[in-house]
Amino acid sequence: MLFRLDIQILRGIAVLYVILFHLNFEFFNSGFLGVDVFFVISGFLMTVIYKNSNAIHFYKKRAKRLLPAYFFTIFIAILLAVVVVNPIDLEEVLEEAIYASLFLSNIGFLNIDTYYSSTEFRPLLHFWSLSVEIQFYLLFPLLFYFARKHLIFVLLIVGISFTLCIYLVAINFSDASFFLMPTRIWEFFLGYVAAKYFNNEGQT
């Protein structure tokens, strides 16, 4: 895939929004929406990368790109926690590391009111979104296969995922809507639609 300045700019804006949100800037109290932008971009890039590939090649490229830095970051977080935190916090960091190593950080954080907190020590909190993305990677080749054959499949998946997302918020289970992969599929598929129908690189 060619270098895309527009994608890099969107990534930069999304990163800035999330950082400013965590720094408690009042104007950016909805800055966590930068994560939503990331998921749309991810769906776009998956589609462009996968269009002339196969599942094995796709997984090899993604693993080579993501996993070394992913596990190195977990290792460094554990190492620093051993040195600088108290035993209780260390136990929590180790628990986070276990979830992260299994690509289940989003599940681990689901029942912890942490993403919106600036007081908790959570060095691997950002891994929840990576876990969502990796979980979607596992489904993507199958979803891509059906999506490229039937537009109605795309509309159905987007509709179900978005409806589930809104429903969980409506019943005051917004943490599940925020952290779970099924409620994020519609965002990945917005990226898919952009890549397939509004981008020359995504045409098949």
Percent of the chain with pLDDT over 90: 41
- Spatial separation of the C-alpha atoms in residues 121 and 57, rounded to whole Å: 38
Supply 115's token pair: 């993403």
Does the pLDDT of residue 62 top 70, yes or no?
yes
Mean pLDDT lowest for which of 2-16, 93-107, 122-136, 147-161?
2-16
pLDDT at 202: 43
Does the pLDDT of residue 196 top 60, yes or no?
yes
Supply 17's token pair: 């929004």
Looking at residue 127, its amino acid is: F
Under the banding of pLDDT at 50, 70 and 90, the label for residue 204 is: very low
Average pLDDT, integer, range 164-177: 91
Supply 101's token pair: 């190593």
Total Cβ atoms within 10 A of residue 137: 20
